[in-house]
A and B are shown apart, each in its own frame.
Chain A
Amino acid sequence: MNLLLSHLKEELQGELKIDGLYKSLYATDASVYRKLPLAVAFPETKDDIKKLIAFAREHKIGLIPRTAGTSLAGQCVGDGIVVDVSRHFTQILDLDQERKQVTVQPGVIRDELNLYLKPLGLFFDPNTSTSNRCMIGGMVGNNSSGTTSIQYGVTRDKVVSLKTILSDGSEAEFKARTESEITEIRKSDSLEAFIYKNLSKELIQEEIINEIVEEFPKPSIHRRNTGYAVDELLKSELFGGKEPTLNLGELLCGSEGTLAFTTEITLQLDDLPPKLSAMVVTHYHTLEDCLLDVVPVMQHSLYLCEMMDKVILDCTKNNRSQLANRFFVEGDPAALLMLQVSADDEQALDTEVKKLMSTIEKSGLSYANPVLIGENINKAIELRKAGLGLLGNIVGDMKAVACIEDTAVAVEDLKDFIGEFTQIMKGYGQSAVYYAHAGAGELHLRPILNLKKSTDVKLFREITTDVAKLTKKYKGSFSGEHGDGIVRAEFLPLMIGQKNYDLLKRVKSYFDPLNIFNPGKIVDAYPMDESFRYEIDRKEPQIETLMDFSDSEGILKAAEKCNGSGDCRKTHLMNGAMCPSYHVTKNEKDTTRGRANALREFLTNPDKPNAFDRKELKEVFDLCLSCKACASECPSNVDVATLKAEFLYQYQESNGYPLRGKLFAYNTALNKLGSKVYGLTNAVYDSKMLSGLLKKASGVAQERNLPKVYSFNFDKYLQESRKEEHKPRTKVVLYIDEFTKYLDIEVGKDAIDLLLGLGYEVDLFYAESGRTFLSKGFLKQAKRLVESNSEKLYDFASKGWPVLGPEPSAILSF
């Protein structure tokens, strides 16, 4: 196969990766599953995609379309060729302001599209929690939605047209077609014609229509992602509905890349929401009261109807940054609803609030109803968002796993459904947490399980099966927005009945008779309790480290904290700094997720006694700047800078320490030497030729100037600057680190001036921090320094003297 793949590689304009590193980077998404793909392709043109399709047909392998890979149900996991269009299919192609429509390639990021549309007063609504990195191709694939779907609808409601490449390599555009247009298409002998002919034959049969109406989720549930949306097609006049056209694009929405490969998407846009908003937060003594109240409040035109329960609210109590956002919570509610109304002027808004309040008072279920406006609304939304993250941060192998997290029922069924659900979870000894999109009848519920253990894998199946049956009882949708993927697809026969399931299989065969598009998803699915990220009941690999990873229970589990949510794939246009190297390269290997995935993969499956001794790992860590942005921005607190330091150390222990690494690591010693003869050193640095030679020999970029070194007596400076007339107030210790001592002496002097000027008594503390050793993986040396420094620091601390220092990278080394 590798030979065939290398031939294919030569034919493609874009890259095709068949090495172990890329396979491991693309073996997972944000789900619990893992399969090593055969290869990863980065097509540059439509022609590339056609060649991949031809190859897949010929050799009977699958193609897994992929954009950001943030799917929660295993949609992007498979053993064929992963086709990543996030790198080259990233253009906004056309904007039709009159019709309020935009045409994009699948790799356009949702929030970046809206950044572009904002000045025009338009936006694309579906707002997933992943909106700052997820891409339109994936949103169409999963029929994504978000908090505001109750007002604006889901992705399917916005798709005007999809240009696609079909499984035989031919092109087809799916959009609203009239009967006569379809008749015209059907005349040809294309695959497109074949699809229309067969679907029409199926969906005009009364028996089939009745079966769909009877067995599919209630149409009043607007978030329905259960199987292919054949129920949506029944809206067309052709099949007994009211709409004059038929749009097969609606069927492709939520088809998870199993029917066709999308290359262009035209979206219907909305006007930006009204400028003014108010949020009523209704508080309840019981969960039941809260769920009962959803029905009457949803009669209003709400922009948000989100719920939080006591468990989640309590999580925010112990979090410093969220404490301030709890300002609106009154008493100790069992649950609360956040209800947002919006309008263009004060008066209209006032009317909306009054109407809503009168409904709330009439039902009389809530005990407090504060009204928030302006910035306070954002704070409340922040609190709701943060709850989820806080809940997810569990140390060790128990995780809140996605399987039943996406059920949606009609809002009038919510209370009874949740009542029975709670009983089921109690039976499994699981305490449930209730939060999220109450207004859409969708709560994100997750059991806490350890999928490394066969006993918990058994529970994973049992809980999922029981909740599937319960959802069926209420004619709900087992997936509201996250999709069927691997985890839920198996349950489709149960959810929609065997006859409908057989229909879906036929639909698949009309589009993709050879089963090349994303096999194992939706129909003929992979089993939901196999191909996990971790081998079940494995013996935990024991990995010795020099640094202390005990707060994550070891370095392997520190890497396993990454759940694939892909927050590190946001670009520089979004808020935050993570991950700068990815911002530049847009290569998955340079994300925090990529680094964690590769480390997990190679530490789990070592090929040498020193598991860190892998070229692949060197490659993924190479561009990490050790900026530590991920340590605070990654919702799972993956800290790559620390992982990288340990890796470098372990790798160099086996492969030797390179000269340049030594030069940088021992930079302080060199500077110390240089500073003794600083006139000479700086003359060398200043001389173009000499410094050029030096840089060349040591692998330093010619463009950079070498920093000048100095020799300065800070003790003397302090002595002379002390002013007798001031009676010192408090004593502080000023830490003169290696950078301040030899390179940035002015900063050191300014710090002394400032502290004396403010009336402090100053003591100086000189020490090398160990930063240069840390960043080059010279961990033993770093450790020695840090240990001896900590003793002195402890001494200062026990006397109650604050230690201050100007250079952050030095301070952070402690």
Chain B
Amino acid sequence: MAGSFGYEKEHYETSMKVGGLKLFPAINNTGPETIIAANGTSCRHQIFDGTKRVAQHPVSILAKALK
């Protein structure tokens, strides 16, 4: 996504194609039990748009583990 880049209408397609090369297939190849971690806000947004999977900030994963 890279911040606003992937929101912009003329860049949307490029942005999804970049995701489609490596990131989305890697996530799609994991089962639902796999936790997806991504620390950038627009990265998590992009992962959701490309795979419909919710990615968590590592901080959230650690906070849950501590509880």
Interface residues of A (CB under 8 A from B): 572, 580-581, 583-585, 623, 625-627, 660, 664, 667, 695, 699-705, 707, 739-740, 743-744, 746-747, 750-751, 753-754, 757-758, 771-772, 775-776, 806-809
By secondary structure, the A interface counts as helix
> Are B21 and A584 in contact (CB-based, < 8 A)?
yes
> Are A809 and B7 in contact (CB-based, < 8 A)?
no
A746–B64 Cα gap in the complex (Å)? 12
Which residues of B from 15 to 67 have beta carbons under 8 Å from A?
15, 17-18, 21-22, 39-42, 45, 49, 57, 59-60, 62-64, 66-67
A753–B61 Cα gap in the complex (Å)? 11
A771–B39 Cα gap in the complex (Å)? 16
A739–B41 Cα gap in the complex (Å)? 7
* Min CB gap A571→B, angstroms: 9
User: What residues of B have a CB within 8 angstroms of the CB of A758 in the complex?
Assistant: 66
20 A–B contacts from the bound complex (CB under 8 Å)? A580-B18, A581-B14, A583-B18, A623-B11, A625-B5, A627-B2, A699-B8, A700-B8, A701-B8, A701-B11, A703-B49, A746-B60, A751-B59, A753-B66, A754-B66, A772-B3, A775-B4, A806-B59, A807-B41, A809-B41
> Are A808 and B8 in contact (CB-based, < 8 A)?
no
> Are A700 and B59 in contact (CB-based, < 8 A)?
no
> Are A623 and B63 in contact (CB-based, < 8 A)?
no
User: What residues of A have a CB within 8 angstroms of the CB of B10 in the complex?
Assistant: 699
> Are B9 and A754 in contact (CB-based, < 8 A)?
no
* Min CB gap B14→A, angstroms: 6
- Contact for B3 among A584, A740, A747, A771, CB less than 8 A: A771
* Min CB gap A590→B, angstroms: 9
Closest-by-CB residue of A relative to B4 is A664
> Are A583 and B59 in contact (CB-based, < 8 A)?
no
* Min CB gap B30→A, angstroms: 19
Closest-by-CB residue of B relative to A660 is B8
Most buried by A among B12, B45, B59: B59
* Min CB gap A803→B, angstroms: 15
A703–B19 Cα gap in the complex (Å)? 15
* Min CB gap A751→B, angstroms: 5
> Are B57 and A584 in contact (CB-based, < 8 A)?
no
- Contact for B60 among A695, A750, A776, CB less than 8 A: A750
User: What residues of B have a CB within 8 angstroms of the CB of A703 in the complex?
Assistant: 12, 49
A707–B57 Cα gap in the complex (Å)? 16
> Are A808 and B12 in contact (CB-based, < 8 A)?
no
User: What residues of A have a CB within 8 angstroms of the CB of B14 in the complex?
Assistant: 581, 584-585, 623
Closest-by-CB residue of A relative to B62 is A754
> Are B40 and A807 in contact (CB-based, < 8 A)?
yes
A744–B45 Cα gap in the complex (Å)? 11
A707–B49 Cα gap in the complex (Å)? 12
A704–B8 Cα gap in the complex (Å)? 9
9 tightest Cβ-Cβ pairs between the two chains A and B: A701-B12, A625-B2, A750-B63, A750-B60, A754-B63, A572-B21, A664-B4, A584-B17, A757-B66
- Contact for B18 among A581, A664, A746, A808, CB less than 8 A: A581
Closest-by-CB residue of B relative to A740 is B41
Most buried by B among A584, A695, A751: A584
Closest-by-CB residue of B relative to A663 is B4
User: What residues of B have a CB within 8 angstroms of the CB of A808 in the complex?
Assistant: 39-40
- Asked, given contacts A754-B59, A757-B63, A757-B66, whether A704 binds B49 with beta carbons under 8 Å apart, the answer is yes
Most buried by B among A583, A660, A701, A744: A701
* Min CB gap B57→A, angstroms: 5
Closest-by-CB residue of B relative to A752 is B63
A572–B20 Cα gap in the complex (Å)? 11
* Min CB gap B1→A, angstroms: 8
User: What residues of B have a CB within 8 angstroms of the CB of A583 in the complex?
Assistant: 18, 21
> Are B12 and A806 in contact (CB-based, < 8 A)?
no
- Contact for B7 among A700, A740, A743, A747, CB less than 8 A: A700
A808–B57 Cα gap in the complex (Å)? 11
* Min CB gap A552→B, angstroms: 24
- Asked, given contacts A581-B14, A806-B59, whether A772 binds B4 with beta carbons under 8 Å apart, the answer is yes
A757–B22 Cα gap in the complex (Å)? 36
User: What residues of A have a CB within 8 angstroms of the CB of B17 in the complex?
Assistant: 584
* Min CB gap A7→B, angstroms: 31
User: What residues of A have a CB within 8 angstroms of the CB of B7 in the complex?
Assistant: 664, 700-701, 704
Most buried by B among A700, A747, A807: A747
- Contact for A626 among B5, B49, B59, CB less than 8 A: B5
User: What residues of A have a CB within 8 angstroms of the CB of B42 in the complex?
Assistant: 809
User: What residues of A have a CB within 8 angstroms of the CB of B62 in the complex?
Assistant: 750, 754
A754–B62 Cα gap in the complex (Å)? 7
A208–B45 Cα gap in the complex (Å)? 71
User: What residues of B have a CB within 8 angstroms of the CB of A702 in the complex?
Assistant: 9
User: What residues of A have a CB within 8 angstroms of the CB of B41 in the complex?
Assistant: 707, 739-740, 743-744, 747, 807, 809
* Min CB gap B4→A, angstroms: 4
User: What residues of B have a CB within 8 angstroms of the CB of A750 in the complex?
Assistant: 57, 59-60, 62-64
> Are B45 and A707 in contact (CB-based, < 8 A)?
yes
User: What residues of A have a CB within 8 angstroms of the CB of B60 in the complex?
Assistant: 746-747, 750
> Are A704 and B3 in contact (CB-based, < 8 A)?
no
* Min CB gap B5→A, angstroms: 5
Closest-by-CB residue of B relative to A577 is B22
User: What residues of B have a CB within 8 angstroms of the CB of A744 in the complex?
Assistant: 41, 57
User: What residues of B have a CB within 8 angstroms of the CB of A809 in the complex?
Assistant: 3, 40-42
User: What residues of B have a CB within 8 angstroms of the CB of A740 in the complex?
Assistant: 41
A758–B17 Cα gap in the complex (Å)? 40
Closest-by-CB residue of A relative to B5 is A625
A709–B11 Cα gap in the complex (Å)? 23
> Are B5 and A806 in contact (CB-based, < 8 A)?
no
> Are B57 and A626 in contact (CB-based, < 8 A)?
no
User: What residues of B have a CB within 8 angstroms of the CB of A705 in the complex?
Assistant: 49
User: What residues of B have a CB within 8 angstroms of the CB of A771 in the complex?
Assistant: 3
> Are A776 and B4 in contact (CB-based, < 8 A)?
yes
User: What residues of A have a CB within 8 angstroms of the CB of B6 in the complex?
Assistant: 701, 704
A667–B64 Cα gap in the complex (Å)? 31
Closest-by-CB residue of B relative to A705 is B49
User: What residues of B have a CB within 8 angstroms of the CB of A700 in the complex?
Assistant: 7-9
A744–B54 Cα gap in the complex (Å)? 13
> Are B18 and A584 in contact (CB-based, < 8 A)?
yes
User: What residues of B have a CB within 8 angstroms of the CB of A775 in the complex?
Assistant: 3-5
User: What residues of B have a CB within 8 angstroms of the CB of A664 in the complex?
Assistant: 4, 7
A701–B15 Cα gap in the complex (Å)? 11
User: What residues of A have a CB within 8 angstroms of the CB of B59 in the complex?
Assistant: 747, 750-751, 754, 806
- Contact for A699 among B9, B57, B63, B64, CB less than 8 A: B9
New contact pairs (16) apart from A664-B7, A701-B9, A775-B4, CB-CB < 8 Å? A583-B21, A625-B18, A626-B2, A627-B2, A695-B9, A700-B7, A701-B6, A701-B7, A701-B11, A701-B12, A739-B41, A751-B59, A754-B59, A771-B3, A776-B4, A806-B39
User: What residues of A have a CB within 8 angstroms of the CB of B8 in the complex?
Assistant: 660, 699-701
A704–B15 Cα gap in the complex (Å)? 11
> Are B63 and A751 in contact (CB-based, < 8 A)?
yes
A611–B63 Cα gap in the complex (Å)? 51
Most buried by A among B9, B12, B40, B67: B9
Closest-by-CB residue of B relative to A571 is B21
- Asked, given contacts A623-B11, A743-B41, whether A753 binds B49 with beta carbons under 8 Å apart, the answer is no
User: What residues of B have a CB within 8 angstroms of the CB of A707 in the complex?
Assistant: 41, 45
Closest-by-CB residue of A relative to B20 is A584
Most buried by A among B17, B41, B42, B66: B41
* Min CB gap B55→A, angstroms: 11
Most buried by A among B3, B17, B45: B3
A308–B59 Cα gap in the complex (Å)? 44
Closest-by-CB residue of B relative to A584 is B17
* Min CB gap A811→B, angstroms: 10
User: What residues of A have a CB within 8 angstroms of the CB of B9 in the complex?
Assistant: 695, 699-702
User: What residues of A have a CB within 8 angstroms of the CB of B57 in the complex?
Assistant: 744, 747, 750, 806
User: What residues of B have a CB within 8 angstroms of the CB of A807 in the complex?
Assistant: 39-41
